[in-house]
Amino acid sequence: MPRPVGISRLDRRTLLKASAAAGALQIASPFIVKARAEGTIKIGMVDPLTGVYAAPAQNEVMGARLATAEINAKGGILGRQIELLVEDSANDVGTGVQKARKLIERDQVSFIIGDVNSAVAQAIAQVSNEKRILHIVSGGHTDTITGSDCKWNVYRVCNTTSMEANSISELLFKKYGKKWHFITPDYAFGHTLQQAASADLSKLGGTMTGNELTPLGTTDFSAYLIKARAANPDVILVLPQGGDMVNCLKQIVQFGLNKQVHVAGLQQELESLEAMPPEARVGIWMFEWYWKQPGVPGVEKFVADIRKVNGGKVPTARHWFGYTSVQTFAGVANQEKTLDSLALAKALGNFELAPEIKLQPNKCYYRAGDHQLMTSAFVGEALAEGKDDPQDLFRVDDVIPGDKTAPPENQTGCKLQWPA
């Protein structure tokens, strides 16, 4: 039989060498993403499982694992089981980027979740955007993620720092006073949170007496607190999170500052309140989700399910972040009958969470213009001790919908650039 035009005669040895070379190239090059194999659908998660944010990060993972188990019990995504692969970013941008590339290029994940640390989350977003992988930022709050640095493939579950400040600034101003002094973590999250609160304060007619920038992982806040007290403010706003929040509030109480000036803040978390002594649980704050919501559909079941895997402890907002992130992927993929990131990213615009996923009284949806979840703010006061339950350490006075706390889309700075 004559050979087709343009095809050379190749012996078996040559073919084998060529195949081996191609295989080696596929393994050696870190930039080649193989087609997702049929079988389990892999979801990658990058969070700081060690360091100052270990507790909230581990709870996000626990929530994500609960969602994974629930989804698999109901048939998975497109009839395939899902697998959650978790990596530790260790609060380090370089490490976070490395872990994200590993998950995408080597482990062949279809989706990415993370990070608690805003700076790491932004860096991971660069990688996921380059690789065209749908990415949900579970716990990084800095505005720019869904603002000036927004990306077509990146959505966010937690509130922005502007949403946090807008939910509580007026209340603090009216109840505590118009002169504010800030204790601010010195990285992306802290900067944007302080800027948002300062902008609100200025609009209300107040003044800032100072802003103490504290490195992540600070253990001794005494020098910052001395300066804050000397400025004679009405309110000291404590903005650090995780272990830093615990250390700062403990030292405020040790120095007696809470008896001389009002102490409050913006974002507060149950992980932090649990880790500090009762006397340090003071002030008005906002929670991004709270476990005690009588009569809200699905909440009682979610609390019971988390208690089963969490040593009897109730869920925090971080459990809900991880849970919602995985449920979002499953919900939109099963709705659209595809794993294609571009198609799913478009479908998530104005995608509304079901009652058993949103677990809050207000409408909860991803805004199409900036990919930010319109989720509620739970505003109230920290409690030294729980009355009916030892883990009920926050009194919710108001639940404010995200549509009321979020800046208008045209003021976020987000200009989405979609692939051709």
CATH assignment, 162-287: 3.40.50.2300
Q: What is the mean pLDDT of the chain?
A: 91
Torsion of CA 255, 257, 258, 263, to 10 degrees: -120
In this model, does residue 163 exceed pLDDT 70?
Answer: yes
Domain ranges for the chain: 41-159+292-375, 162-287
CATH number 3.40.50.2300 is the correct assignment for the domain at 41-159+292-375: yes
Q: 373 or 30: whose pLDDT is higher?
A: 373
On whether the CB atoms of residues 286 and 167 are closer than 8 A, the answer is: yes
Mean pLDDT of 143-148: 97
Quick one: which of 122, 99, 103 has its CA closest to 111? 103
Cα–chain center distance at 368: 18
Residues 321-340 have pLDDT tens digits of 999 999 999 999 999 999 99
Triad 250, 251, 256: Cα angle to 5°: 105
Residue corresponding to tokens 């869920």: 315
Q: What stretches of 337-389 show up as alpha helix (H) in DSSP?
A: 341-347, 355-358
DSSP string, 179-219: EEEEEEESSHHHHHHHHHHHHHHHHHT-EEEEEEEE-TT--
Torsion of CA 412, 417, 418, 420, to 10 degrees: 160
> pLDDT-derived band of residue 3, with 50, 70 and 90 as boundaries?
very low
On whether the CB atoms of residues 382 and 371 are closer than 8 A, the answer is: no
pLDDT at 20: 40
Triad 280, 285, 288: Cα angle to 5°: 120
Residues 378-415 have pLDDT tens digits of 999 999 999 889 999 999 999 999 999 999 999 999 99
On whether the CB atoms of residues 327 and 64 are closer than 8 A, the answer is: no
Q: What are the distances in angstroms from CA 211 to CA 179, 286, 378?
A: 12, 20, 26
What pTM does this model have? Answer: 0.89
Torsion of CA 45, 322, 161, 166, to 10 degrees: 170
41-159+292-375 and 162-287: same fold?
yes
DSSP string, 84-102: EEEEE-TT-HHHHHHHHHI
Q: What percent of the chain has pLDDT over 90?
A: 90
Reduce the DSSP state of residue 169 to 3 states and report it. Answer: helix
pLDDT at 420: 85
pLDDT at 387: 87
Mean pLDDT of 1-25: 36
In this structure, the strands spanning 111-113 and 134-137 are parallel
pLDDT at 16: 36
